[in-house]
Amino acid sequence: MTFSRRALRVAARARIPAPTIAPAARAAIAVRAYASAPKPPTPKGKDKKDTPVYNFNTSLTFDAVADPEVAKYRKVTAADLANYREPPTRVKMLVRDFIDDSLYNPHYGYFSKNVSIFTPPDEKGYDFRSFRDQNEFQERVAERYESEYGAVGSGLGRQVWHTPTELFKPHYARALTAAMVGQYKLNHYPQDFVIYEVGAGNGTFMVDALTYLKEEYPEILARTKYRIIEISGALAKIQKARAAAAGFDNVEVVNEDIFKWSGGSSEPCYVVACEVFDNFSHDMIRYDLATLEPMQASVAIDASGDFSVYYEPLHDPLLRRVLAYRRLLPPSSSTQPPLSRPLLASSTLRKVYSQIPFAPNLSPPEFVPTKAVAFLERLRDQLPNHRLLVADFDTLPDAVPGRNGPVVQTRYGGTMVPCETFLVKQGYFDIFFPTDFELLRDTYSLIMNSPSRRASDEGKRGRLSNDFFTGVRGFRRRAINVYSQAEFVMKYGGREAIKATTTRDGMSVMLNMYHNTKVLF
């Protein structure tokens, strides 16, 4: 069964067009030039190579003239907009900055105001033996969703989402913790057991993991240091309160953006990221059909707050670096342009195709996980002796068209509404992406075996053993694995976790739900 972060019972979902919900999204496809249309003139003082390219066929109108004002707009990043209290106008930014600003702006961003996290009614979690089968369990969850969260703002934007950590507490967290404990006992005991959790939500994983250690491995708990890096001030307060209420004084909560975090250590540690990668912003690229050169996409916001997209030659350093990693990997459907095999193989065929009336001269869109790669680079630089545990969605329903397209959704009148574009009113929509775990694994291996980008002396951080990293040299991947959720739970949670999440019909809910999630460890 496949889930995104929506209520389990999604009743007769009405598809409300994005323009109806968010007037600012009317210009989602506002740049409508065709392959056969003339390119806009080069602005004075601008190099021809720096001129934005408005040449992707996205609608059946003949409005091929780009707004000449876009060239005058100030180019900004999400960091530049952090102090804005209202969404900006007359600016342009990379797609990842637009998404970052929409989700994380401290004043109007989605996560600053619009999210509640679903929790079971009992602190100990659900008693799965009390349910006849999985259907009854889902009905009870849906009933709690409606009774507890149904009145949480019926207007646009407010929504509640759930995760395996919450639904299957404490068993899911115990299985993940058991995996780390096994590696820790094998490699590092009796050194300190150091865990970093990025984006800890309500603190459920932290409480369940430490409770597991308290009950099963008190000698390891005595050596445990648990550190949370949390961007949300509200959630950081909840995490501190829950740690104190549970009696755990070995928890440190750092209320900071992981991408601005200046800490770090050379000590062996474990980094946990559950349902974090899906909200890492992506860039969008398309490939020129004639040359297969990637073109980076940017979003322009006009004086009315309407959006348009334009493409230009690749020059963003992070995006260039991500694609450089990809070129070092074996060719695959994840590393090559999103085109059919005949088009990839023949430049003549691509040229003929691009000259067909109304045919695009750029490839379909591809969403590139630039922030995820930046995160991995920070781990390499700041926590070089870490092991990484990632759990997240690998596929998502109702996604925006394009390779690795996101799901863009909001809650409207009690109904979850998916949208067909990411160009929606900032702060009112959740935007989250699937993770290509196999590509993540291979990219992670490359990053962990590449030199640190930090200028600090390597010797001060300590040398790394050849066998420690989850990523290994080349593609031997001796210690890095990707599992389905069911495979991971069966391997590390064992019979106890399966039995604890089994309903009266003999089926384990934890094994049969969230078929669209994977774990990297």
By residue count, the chain amounts to: 521
Distance separating alpha carbons of residues 162 and 120, to the nearest angstrom: 10
Q: Is the pLDDT of residue 384 over 60?
A: yes
Q: Which pLDDT belongs to residue 101?
A: 97
Tell me the per-residue pLDDT of 12-35, one tens digit each, with 9 for 90 and over: 232 223 322 233 333 332 333 222
pLDDT category, 174, cuts 50, 70, 90?
very high
Q: Which pLDDT belongs to residue 1?
A: 53
Q: Which pLDDT belongs to residue 150?
A: 61
| CA angle at 235 for the pair 83 and 415, rounded to the nearest 5° | 90
Tell me the per-residue pLDDT of 113-136, one tens digit each, with 9 for 90 and over: 756 777 887 888 999 999 999 999
Tell me the per-residue pLDDT of 233-289, one tens digit each, with 9 for 90 and over: 889 999 999 999 999 999 999 999 999 999 999 999 999 999 999 999 999 999 998
Of 43, 49, 52, residue with least CA distance to 94: 52
- Using DSSP, state whether 129 is helix, strand or coil: helix
Based on the number of CB atoms within 10 Å of its own CB, is 215 exposed (0-12), middle (13-18) or buried (19 or more)? Answer: exposed
Q: Is the pLDDT of residue 47 over 70?
A: no
Of 53, 96, 94, residue with least CA distance to 71: 53
Distance separating alpha carbons of residues 96 and 312, to the nearest angstrom: 15
Q: Is the pLDDT of residue 358 over 80?
A: no
Per the model's pLDDT, the better-predicted residue between 294 and 32 turns out to be 294
- Torsional sign, CA 19, 23, 28, 29: positive
Distance separating alpha carbons of residues 78 and 156, to the nearest angstrom: 23
- Angle, helix 204-216 to helix 171-187, in steps of 10 degrees: 60
Q: Is the pLDDT of residue 50 over 70?
A: no
Radius of gyration (C-alpha) of the chain in whole angstroms: 24
Q: Which pLDDT belongs to residue 149?
A: 61
Which of the residue ranges 113-122, 154-163, 339-348, 386-395 would you say has the lowest mean pLDDT? Answer: 154-163
Tell me the per-residue pLDDT of 491-507, one tens digit each, with 9 for 90 and over: 999 999 999 999 999 99
Name the average pLDDT for the chain: 82
Tell me the per-residue pLDDT of 406-462, one tens digit each, with 9 for 90 and over: 999 987 776 778 899 999 999 999 999 999 999 999 999 999 998 887 644 443 444
DSSP letter string, 351-404: HHHHTSTT--SBPPPEEE-HHHHHHHHHHHHH-TTEEEEEEEES--SSPPSSBT
Domains within the chain, CATH numbers bracketed? 128-280+372-396+433-450+485-520 (3.40.50.150)
